[in-house]
Amino acid sequence: MTRSWRYAIFFVGAGLIAALYVIGVYGMPHFGSTFHPYRDRAVPAAVSHRTANVVSAVNFDQRAFDTLGEETIFFASVIGAAALLRPSKEEREQHSPSQGGHVMASTRFAGYVLLPVTLLVGFDVVAHGHLTPGGGFQGGVVLATGLHLLYVAGRYESLEHFRPVEKFEYGEVTGALAFAGLGFAGMAIGGSFLANVIPFGEFGQLLSAGTVEVFNFAVGIEVSCGVVVLLAHFLRQAILLRGGEASRS
Amino acid sequence: MNDIVLIVLLTLVAAGGTAVVMTNAPERQAVTLSVFGVLLSLLFFSLQAPDVALSQLAVGTAFLPLMVMLAIRKIRGGGR
């Protein structure tokens, strides 16, 4: 197929999608308008459970079942990626520490300064998920990527030393099981799956919103450990493993 | 005022997405993808969705480009 034909097909397809999008969006209420039936129901429901961050109330209280599904998708995709990235028969691990490239002193300094700051911010985002924007997922990703500043600032070996992958695998499973277990606890105590059964506390305080923050911690553990496991498999493939199809070609 | 901010950001996001598609080498694409992630995050923030903006910032600017870079490095068979 020639280049001009490909462009022609692209512009026809893009034009059709643009037209469908305009038709689909045109009838929606204007952004920031007063007509908002979902808000009129979600905000009072969040306030009645003393949850300051309404998004967290929707995610972990009103529609926690959706989030359980999303957690399961995340869990399954990490397992799937880990299975795909396992070493093949021809690949061998190569440890050659002397080969490490030169890291600039400023990069090293910035990495070591930012490492504790990033981990603290990540923990803060998880811990205040029921109060301010953020939560288990966002904080978990920050925690996991923050840990990899060890690799940016130092050497791969130092990252490997502080990151025993098997422990993080257990962590991911623990987080996922905690989420589902809390759901069953809600069924046993509150009469419905994923029900908010812990006392709600005072609006806007650290101890408030009932199970919302506990769910946030479960998700934070699962996501941070899952991202670490995922990146560990990518890093091992890219740095340690030699041989097999990829490097032969 | 708010509309102007949204129009500017929507235009920037459209330009950024086009820039990612037009970037030839995959390793450079990882960088433009990261910039595109920041633009998207700013758009979500100005649409009053800070939770989504935070997710986009964490995943789109650090995690995703890092995975792309590592995958490219593996394919090229380069050293550390």
Inter-chain touch A99–B79, beta carbons under 8 Å: yes
Contact of B4 with chain A, judged by CB distance below 8 Å, is answered with no
pLDDT at position A243 is 58
pLDDT at position B8 is 93
Contact of B14 with chain A, judged by CB distance below 8 Å, is answered with no
User: What ipTM is given for this predicted complex?
Assistant: 0.82
Distances (CA, A) of B12 to A25, A101, A163, B17: 20, 36, 39, 8
Helix (H) or strand (E) holding A33: none
Residues of chain B predicted below pLDDT 50: 79-80
Contacts of A149 in chain B (CB under 8 A): none
Helix (H) or strand (E) holding A76: helix A64-84
Q: CA-nearest residue of chain B to A58?
A: B51
Inter-chain touch B80–A156, beta carbons under 8 Å: yes
Contact of B7 with chain A, judged by CB distance below 8 Å, is answered with no
Q: What is the pLDDT of residues A196-215, one digit of tens each?
A: 777 777 777 777 778 888 88
* Mean of per-residue pLDDT scores for chain A: 83
- Name the minimum distance, in Å, from the CA of A246 to any CA of chain B: 5
Inter-chain touch B63–A53, beta carbons under 8 Å: no
